């Protein structure tokens, strides 16, 4: 099969062996796959894979790895010990985790679990979901990205007293915004340097967008929160918050060193922080400042199966419109994967570029 292959820090398109499904696995044909920032984190920081003693994400620079974990695919064949409940030719997607005899592997981040930047790859039958929708595969494949922010926003349990601040309007920040909006939370303040991403944030449900190069996001957030806590006549609506100011919750969705620390230094006392970005090279945090302010910091982790299913259903049903995240960028074939990765690295393009392996 043809695949965009990562080896030694470089991606090139060439022919490799077709994967063979093992016990409990399905062989699927890739129809569409989003290019994720975590693909870049994986290929640019092999030391992060070396530090993962779980074996789920392993980057061996001397071995071929096919990335791509946000996919819509078509069932082609079955491995041994499968129920064969999903007919050949059915469109499917799944949480990108492959169960192997050696343990669980992240699809697209391990030599044993090639991803959807190739013509064919493997999925775990037990967690594979049928695409019950007429939406294009390029839309369906965005569901996995949605699931990350969906899960984070769901776990945050934002109360009516809190004003959420979302820092970073890439795919994960946008999915946090979309989930908060679906929960009826607001007003939602979103922050990004890139004007097109701020516009996308508004399309996905943000109420106020902030350019941090022009305005302090914490000052803007404070002003919105204060207006939210007070009635039109200036009376305090939330009498339980100290000094009439509600507690806030911040979602860090950038993944660049220094951002989480800037939140620690810039936010108010008692703020809850959900860090989803997680720079692979690590970060330095002023923990004493966090302690003095009584901050509650929770680090991400992947979505639960239940949250993945909810996000997948929201996208497939059309209940959540993810078209703004694609930004009219179109799609690329396998030969376009190296350039697409560079475009994502630049950070000024659409939140998602989608690879269609069958496209020339």
Do both 31 and 103 map to the same domain? yes
Structural domain of residue 258, as residue ranges? 145-299
Q: What is the CATH number of the domain that holds 346?
A: 3.90.180.10
Question: What pLDDT is attached to residue 240?
Answer: 45
Q: 306 lies in a domain?
A: no
342: Cβ–Cβ under 8 A, 6 or more apart, which residues? none
Do both 178 and 66 map to the same domain? no
Do both 97 and 117 map to the same domain? yes
**How high is the mean pLDDT of the chain?**
90
CB 332 within 8 A of CB 353: yes
Q: What is the mean pLDDT of residues 49-64?
A: 78
Tens digit of each residue's pLDDT (9 = 90 or more) over 270-284: 999 999 987 878 889
Q: How many residues would you count in the chain? A: 360
Tokens of 155: 């776990």
Q: 317 lies in a domain?
A: no
C-alpha–C-alpha distance, residues 356 and 217, integer Å: 37
231 confidence band (pLDDT: 50, 70, 90): low
For the chain, the straight-line distance linking the first and the last C-alpha, in angstroms and rounded, comes to 14
Tens digit of each residue's pLDDT (9 = 90 or more) over 95-123: 999 999 999 999 999 999 999 999 999 99
Do both 123 and 151 map to the same domain? no
pLDDT over 50 at 344, yes or no:
yes
Question: What pLDDT is attached to residue 246?
Answer: 47
Lowest mean pLDDT among 96-105, 176-185, 329-338: 329-338
Q: 315 lies in a domain?
A: no
Do both 198 and 166 map to the same domain? yes
Do both 134 and 153 map to the same domain? no
pLDDT over 60 at 298, yes or no:
yes
Does this model's pTM top 0.85? yes
Which parts of the chain fold into alpha helices (H)?
A: 37-44, 46-50, 137-140, 143-156, 171-182, 195-204, 217-229, 259-266, 287-293, 305-316, 323-326, 337-346
C-alpha–C-alpha distance, residues 328 and 64, integer Å: 32
Of the chain, the percentage scoring pLDDT greater than 90 comes to 74
Q: What is the mean pLDDT of residues 307-330?
A: 90
Q: 307 lies in a domain?
A: no
Do both 152 and 90 map to the same domain? no
Tens digit of each residue's pLDDT (9 = 90 or more) over 139-174: 999 999 999 999 999 999 998 889 999 999 999 999
C-alpha–C-alpha distance, residues 130 and 92, integer Å: 4
Do both 138 and 182 map to the same domain? no
Only one residue has tokens 């915004």, namely 177
CB 301 within 8 A of CB 97: no
pLDDT over 50 at 239, yes or no:
no
Do both 138 and 150 map to the same domain? no
Q: 330 lies in a domain?
A: yes
Question: What pLDDT is attached to residue 228?
Answer: 76
Q: What is the CATH number of the domain that holds 163?
A: 3.40.50.720
Do both 7 and 104 map to the same domain? yes
Do both 265 and 156 map to the same domain? yes
CB 75 within 8 A of CB 26: yes
Q: What H or E segment, with its residue span, contains residue 165?
A: strand 163-167
Structural domains in the chain (count): 2
Tens digit of each residue's pLDDT (9 = 90 or more) over 24-54: 999 999 999 999 988 988 898 877 655 666 7
Do both 91 and 157 map to the same domain? no
C-alpha–C-alpha distance, residues 7 and 114, integer Å: 13
Burial class (CB in 10 A: 0-12, 13-18, 19+), 155: middle
Q: 240 lies in a domain?
A: yes
328 confidence band (pLDDT: 50, 70, 90): low
Q: 121 lies in a domain?
A: yes
Q: 337 lies in a domain?
A: yes
């Amino acid at each position: 099969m043809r695949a965009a292959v990562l080896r030694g820090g470089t991606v090139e398109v060439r022919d490799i062996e077709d994967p063979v499904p093992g016990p409990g696995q399905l062989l699927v044909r890739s129809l569409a796959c989003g290019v994720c920032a975590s693909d870049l984190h994986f290929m640019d920081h092999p030391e992060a894979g070396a530090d993962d003693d779980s074996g789920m994400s392993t980057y061996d620079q001397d071995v071929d790895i096919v990335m791509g974990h946000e996919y819509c695919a078509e069932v082609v064949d079955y491995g041994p010990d499968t129920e064969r409940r999903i007919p050949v030719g059915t469109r499917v997607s799944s949480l990108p985790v492959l169960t192997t005899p050696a343990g669980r592997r992240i699809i697209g981040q391990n030599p044993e679990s090639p991803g959807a930047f190739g013509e064919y790859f493997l999925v775990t039958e037990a967690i594979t979901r049928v695409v019950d929708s007429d939406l294009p595969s390029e839309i369906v494949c965005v569901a996995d990205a949605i699931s990350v922010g969906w899960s984070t926003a769901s776990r945050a349990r934002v109360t009516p007293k809190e004003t959420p601040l979302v820092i970073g309007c890439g795919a994960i920040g946008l999915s946090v915004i979309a989930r908060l909006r679906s929960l009826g939370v607001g007003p939602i303040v979103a922050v990004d340097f890139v004007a097109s991403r701020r516009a996308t944030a508004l399309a996905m449900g943000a109420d106020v967008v902030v350019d941090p190069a022009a305005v302090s996001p914490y000052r803007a957030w404070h002003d919105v929160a204060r207006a939210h806590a007070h009635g039109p006549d200036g009376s305090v609506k939330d009498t339980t918050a100290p000094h009439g100011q509600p507690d806030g919750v911040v979602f860090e969705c950038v993944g660049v060193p220094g951002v989480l620390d800037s939140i620690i230094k810039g936010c108010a006392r008692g703020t809850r922080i959900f860090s989803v970005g997680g720079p692979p090279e690590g970060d330095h945090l002023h923990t004493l400042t966090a302690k003095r302010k009584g901050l509650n910091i929770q680090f991400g982790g992947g979505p639960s199966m239940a949250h993945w299913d909810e996000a997948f259903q929201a996208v497939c049903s059309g209940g959540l419109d993810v078209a703004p995240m694609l930004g009219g960028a179109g799609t690329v074939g396998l030969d376009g994967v190296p350039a697409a990765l560079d475009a994502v690295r630049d950070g000024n393009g659409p939140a998602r570029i989608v690879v269609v392996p069958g496209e020339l």
